[in-house]
Structure formats: C-alpha cells, structure tokens
Structure 1
C-alpha cells in the first residue's frame, strides 16, 4: 500500500498537494458514515409497522447510537495517535459493515439497541467528525477551515445520496433490503482506504499543506495508552472556560440537527400526511443545501470572526425551527422556506467550532479535545432523539419538541459570543510588534 501511495503522491505533487487526495478519501469515508447513520430515520415508520415497536422504543436505540457516536470521538482520536490512523479506520469499517449486515436478521427490540445502538454508534464514532478534525490537523497548515468545511459537508452529501434511495427501497421492497444496501456501501469504501490513505505527510516525505517543503512534524507520544491520552487532554480542557462554552453550544447543535431533525423529520412529515419518500426528499434537499452552506462556512471561517459566524448560524437555525410547525400549514412555500434556511445552516457550525478549538488549545491537543466537544454534540443528539420520541408518543405531535429545539438554538447563539474572548495586553502587543 505504502509504495502505491508514494507513487501516486509523486505523480500528483506537481499539480496539487496529496493532502487534497486525503480529503477526498476521508470525504467518502464520512459520506458512507453519514448514510449509515441516516438509515434509522428511514426505518422508523416501517419498523413500527413490521415489528410492532413504538416510536419511543426505536428512538431509544437511536439515542444510544448518538451518545456513543459522540463519546467515541476522543478515544478514536487517541487510538489513531497510538495505533495508527489506517488501522483504526479499517477496523471500524469491518465492525460497521458486519454489524449493519447482521441487523437485517433482527426480530426483537433489544437486538436493535445492541446493533444500531451500541455497535453502530461506536463504529461510526471513529469514522465521522473527529476523523475529519484529525485529518485537517495532520495534513494542513493553511486552509484548515476550507478543508474541514468540505469534510463536514460529506454528512449532507450522504443524506442527499442515501435518503431518497433508501426511502424508495423501503417503499418497494421493505426494510431489510435497505440494511443490506448500506452494508454493501460500507464494504465498497474499504479498499479505497487500504490503498490510498497514508498515516501522515511524513510517511510520504511531504510537508503539511501550506508549510515549506522539507518541514518535518514532531511525532506525538504514540506509546501512551489511548484512554490515558484522551482523559489527559480532557483533564487539561476542563480547566478552561472556553471548553465548556464549546461543549454546551455543540450539545445544542447536536440536539437540533442529528438528534431531532435528522431522526424525526421523516416521521414528522408522516403526521402531516406526507409519504416517506417525500419526507426523505425534503431532508435530502436540505442536505444538498448544507453541502453548499458548510463548504462556504469553512471558507468564511478562514477569513471572519468565528464567534460571530456561530452567533448567526445558531440564531438563524433557531428561527427556522420556531417557524417549522407553521411551515407545514403553508401550502407550496412553507416547507421550501424552512428547507432553505435550515439546510444552508444545518452543520455549518462545525468549521468555526473546529477553528476555535484549534485557536484555544493548539494543534496538538485540538483533535482529541474536539473529540470531547463532539461528545457533547452527540449527547445533545441522544437527548433530542429520545425527547422527540417521548413528546410525540405522549402528546401526539412534535410541536412542543420543535419549540424547545428552536429556543435552545437562540440560547446557544448568545453562549458562543463568549468563546475565546482573550483580552490583549497593549504592552505585550507593542513588544510583539
């Protein structure tokens, strides 16, 4: 593998840095991960009908998935440092593909909790946002925001590609072929990772993108236990106020995206007489808009105040969610307006959050600490997935949960303005200049 990758890197070096090839490969890994994680939202109503499970039972499995997906972040980043990036990712893909395939045989709710909750949650935690942050930290000195924006947009592209297709398969063939389709997609990405993804620029005798040629990176302490690495970084982070601001704002981000809209939107559309394919298509359109919004957000995060960007992202998302119950009652224009504003904003928060984490904690600790911030994101998602299901079962509608989600976003828009507000000492600044 290494000789093939080295040959390819030498062939591309005159045209572009191999870092962009790594971004492309990582994009596909995260795209498959996003498609896998979006699958249960398509299956919610079919599983209710086929197996007799209520929405709270299914939501519980998804809440476990979302929580473990986030909690795996810091440990996966530490494992990549200790055991190697390729070994960690390939191991996660094997576990993910096998577990998803076996879930086509499930008959009881506990089996969904174990497979789609525990196993899939842990495996996708290795191959998602924290992986993107690790790649950006390892390969880029400049244009980090743009690279992270492209990688984060893979989540939107995953929905754009997978949701309408999976919804159509459910409609025609049932829920089990959907799961087998996703398992095949996971298997296809394995050889791409094995052949083309190196450990780091140093393994190809390259410098980081944006650094002078020949610059070598200082290796980390790879002999440490990954658990000690992860908790060591957390121990340093919890003493810093900015960590808690990043953590709780991202908690709200997760609650109002993956946890609530990502999990319940298709089922919510069903409450208003819309079919699964129609609901999935709207969600896919929002994913396509997010591909634009998040990539643009990455570009902006290299040029603008990231706190201000986050203020606008959370504020506009909150207003969109508060509008959503009304949108269902407005023919023709209601849902398109919601989809436009929410879609452009969906996970545009990630590039500025990664940038602020790097600014506060430095390039060495940032990937692992961002993993802990992602844990907050997914704990929020787990809360919202379960909360949304409970509200729907008890009140017969999602309206209360939607209002809560919108209000949380407005709170977060205020919190983020306090992140990384360092007071500059004029004397020190004068000496520096």
Structure 2
C-alpha cells in the first residue's frame, strides 16, 4: 500500500481574496462619510449659521473618537470575531449618517457626526485591515496592507466628488444619505462572506503551507478593554512604540487633519471653486491608491525605517510650499503637489504595520497598531481644530501649513532612531524589544 501523501489541490480563487474584497468594501464605506467632512463644512455653516470653530470642533471629535476606538475595536475583534464587529460598525455608520438628516442643533452634529460616526468608522479603521492581512496572508502581505490602506483614498475618490456636487445642488442632506445607504447595503455582504480567520472556514492563510493544520484560535480569557490596555502598558516600555506613536500622530496631523479637512476651504479662500477643490482632493485619492500599493510592495523588499524617512521628509517639504501654490486656478505647480501628495498620503501605513509586527510579534501587532493608529487620528483631530482656529484668528492658513511641514521633518528624523529587527514568521510572536 502506498503511504505517499497527496498534496491537496486548491480549486478556484483562495478564500483570502474574497475576504480581502469585502474588507476593502467596508474600508471604503468607512472612508466615505469621513471624506465628506471637508466638502460639507461650508454648506453646514450656511444652512445653520454655525462658525468654522463649531464645525471644525465636530470634525476634531470625529477624528479623535475614530482613533481612540481603533485599539479597543481590535481587541473586540479578537474576542467576538471580526465579522460581528464589522457588521455592527457598518450599521452604526448608517444610523449615524441617516440621523444627521434631521438634526437641528450643533450638539446633535457633535453627537452624530463626532461621536457615533467616530465610533463606527473607528471600528473599521486601518487596524481592521491590518488584522485581516496578518491573519489571512503570508504571501503578498505587504501589498495587501497597501491595498487596504488605499481603501480610505478609494472611498474619498468614490464619494467626495458626488458629495460635493450633491451639497452644491440638492443639498448636504443628500450627501449624508448616500453614505448611509451604501453602508447599510454592505452589512449582509459582510455577514455572508467575511470570516474571522482561515481556521474558522477550514483553510489556511494565503501562501501558508497547505499541509499544515489550521491554527486554533485562542479562547479569550480577558475583556476587550483589558486586552487593549494591557497591550498598551506592555508596549509603552519600548522606545520603538513611542517613535511609531509620535510619527503616526504627525502623519494624521498632515493628512486627515489638515489636508483632508481644510484643503477645500483653504483653496476656496484663494478663489478656487469648492467643486474644483473637491475634485483635486479626490485626485489625491487616485494617486494614493498607486502610492500605497507601491509602498506595500516596497515594504516587502526595503527597510521600513528608510521608507518612512523618505515619506515624511518629502511630505514636510511639500507642505512648506503649499501657501505659494494655491490660487484661483489650477496651475501646473499645484497639480504636481496633488500628484505627489497623493502618492505619499498613506504610504506610511505598510512600513508602520511592518515595524509593529517586527518589534511586537504577529499576535500583538493588531492591537499595537491600533494604539499607533489612535495617535494618527488624535493628531488629525488636533490639527483640524488648530487649523480652523488659525484660519479664524489670522484670516488664512499660512501658520497651519508651516507647522505641519516642520512636524513632518521632525518625524523623518525620529524614525531613523528605530533599531533594525527582522520580521517574525506568520505564527511567531516576539517579545517587546528595546525597552526604555
């Protein structure tokens, strides 16, 4: 009798790619409402008579809650499963977006737009994408994380021009309703296709040994909040954590907080129509897809520290030039900035995720990156209010551009202080390194 073991043959597309497709759609939906904030500042102020400080404050709350939700959402996914948490989060986004249609007071804007949407989209942040990529992919993991990172820009690309035109035509309520409907339609798709892990459906991660038995998921013994807090305490002993935390705080400041929230308003200050500025912001989304996927490819091949150094340095220099590029028409120099900033927008995500995985281990990487991502969005929230107050106090955004540019140069210098550590294998968990 032959004792030869036949290698199982996989027929059709690996389940990991279907999971990745649904993950991408959920990330796009989460980005859709968040990308609408810059286009809706003006219409909301005109409709309700609110000040720039009031609307910017709601955006700041949204970004901060969004970021602070991420590490706890990662722990919830570990305890209750990715599928349940994602479906509930999409439902919350839909409900929060829908209820903005009937709001009449500023506190309702802060509650719905700031808190409810912040929690819902925060649970669908890049931490969610990092967890899916780490669980479902061994081969091409960096590229997949790059694709997931680009999903936020894809949401911007898909929704922002439509939102700007709806706000300029029928009204901002139509724009909010568009996002609510799209998020709600995704819920049954998530419940049908998304799986918590390869083991849950009897398969292995893409690129893993097909003969190896699927790993058994550990039974949670602690609450989600305890896991998130304990992970923070353990990671906080590492200087690497604080460098990643601080640099990603600056990343959020210079992207979602400043450009994402105020670029349209700043362009309009220089005479550029809001719909044209919205199209330029969407164009950033197009090039960000290319830049982030390319960054994922590079992360699989180049030292992540050097990638981050280049990304932050060039971003800082470009921000210092912005005040001299804005005008009432789109000059070639402004178009060059849009292309470059798009390529660099969230190119920082794949190397940052890789450094979290290398220094803190595969199992902890999701929650650790959750805290790092929280810093990203807190930085974005602070920047949204800071830039709004600078504009309100001085009449222009010059001080905001200069501040962001200098911070990015500082981030470039900081990431070079991270020590080199080889990445762990898919099933390996490394101890926290380089304690302070």
Into which bin does the TM-score normalised by the smaller protein fall?
over 0.9
Partner of 1:234 in structure 2? 232
Partner of 1:338 in structure 2? 337
Residue 120 (structure 1) aligned to one of 117, 121, 138: 117
Residue 141 (structure 2) aligned to one of 127, 144, 157: 144
CA-CA distance at 1:16 after TM superposition: 3.2
Aligned residues: 412
TM-score, scaled relative to structure 1:
0.93
Q: Is the Cα–Cα contact under 8 Å of residues 30 and 93 in structure 2 kept in the other structure?
A: no
Distance 1:95 1:181 in 2: 15
CA-CA distance at 1:19 after TM superposition: 1.0
Partner of 1:328 in structure 2? 326
CA-CA distance at 1:142 after TM superposition: 2.5
TM-score, scaled relative to structure 2:
0.92
In the alignment, structure 1 segments of 5+ residues that lack a partner are 1-11, 424-433
Distance 1:70 1:167 in 2: 25
Q: Does 1:68 align with 2:53?
A: no
Partner of 1:250 in structure 2? 248
Residue 43 (structure 1) aligned to one of 40, 47, 53: 40
Secondary structure in 2 aligned to 1:397? coil
Secondary structure in 1 aligned to 2:181? helix
Partner of 1:313 in structure 2? 311
Distance 2:10 2:262 in 1: 45
CA-CA distance at 1:331 after TM superposition: 5.8
Structure 1 runs (4+) greater than 6 angstroms displaced: none
CA-CA distance at 1:48 after TM superposition: 1.2
In the alignment, structure 2 segments of 5+ residues that lack a partner are 1-8, 423-436
Distance 1:285 1:13 in 2: 39
Q: Is the Cα–Cα contact under 8 Å of residues 299 and 354 in structure 2 kept in the other structure?
A: yes
C-alpha RMSD of matched pairs (Å): 1.4
Q: Does 1:83 align with 2:74?
A: no
Distance 2:105 2:390 in 1: 23
Q: Is the Cα–Cα contact under 8 Å of residues 316 and 341 in structure 1 kept in the other structure?
A: no
Secondary structure in 2 aligned to 1:384? helix
Distance 2:401 2:109 in 1: 26
Distance 2:21 2:163 in 1: 24
Q: Does 1:416 align with 2:415?
A: yes
Q: Is the Cα–Cα contact under 8 Å of residues 60 and 380 in structure 2 kept in the other structure?
A: yes
Q: What whole-Å deviation, never above 9, does each CA across 1:225-258 have from its counterpart, x for those lacking one?
A: 1011111111110011100000000000000000
Task: Note closer, same or farther for the CA distance 1:203–1:275 as it changes in structure 2 (3 Å cut).
Answer: same
Task: Note closer, same or farther for the CA distance 1:25–1:420 as it changes in structure 2 (3 Å cut).
Answer: farther
Secondary structure in 1 aligned to 2:36? helix
Distance 1:31 1:285 in 2: 16
Distance 1:193 1:13 in 2: 24
Partner of 1:364 in structure 2? 363
Q: Is the Cα–Cα contact under 8 Å of residues 140 and 209 in structure 1 kept in the other structure?
A: yes
Residue 181 (structure 1) aligned to one of 163, 178, 191: 178
Q: Does 1:393 align with 2:410?
A: no
Superposition pairs of residues 182-331 of structure 1, within 5 angstroms:
182-213=179-210, 214-329=212-327
Distance 2:28 2:178 in 1: 14
Residue 95 (structure 1) aligned to one of 92, 95, 100: 92
CA-CA distance at 1:27 after TM superposition: 0.5
Q: Is the Cα–Cα contact under 8 Å of residues 358 and 421 in structure 2 kept in the other structure?
A: no
Q: Is the Cα–Cα contact under 8 Å of residues 358 and 366 in structure 1 kept in the other structure?
A: yes
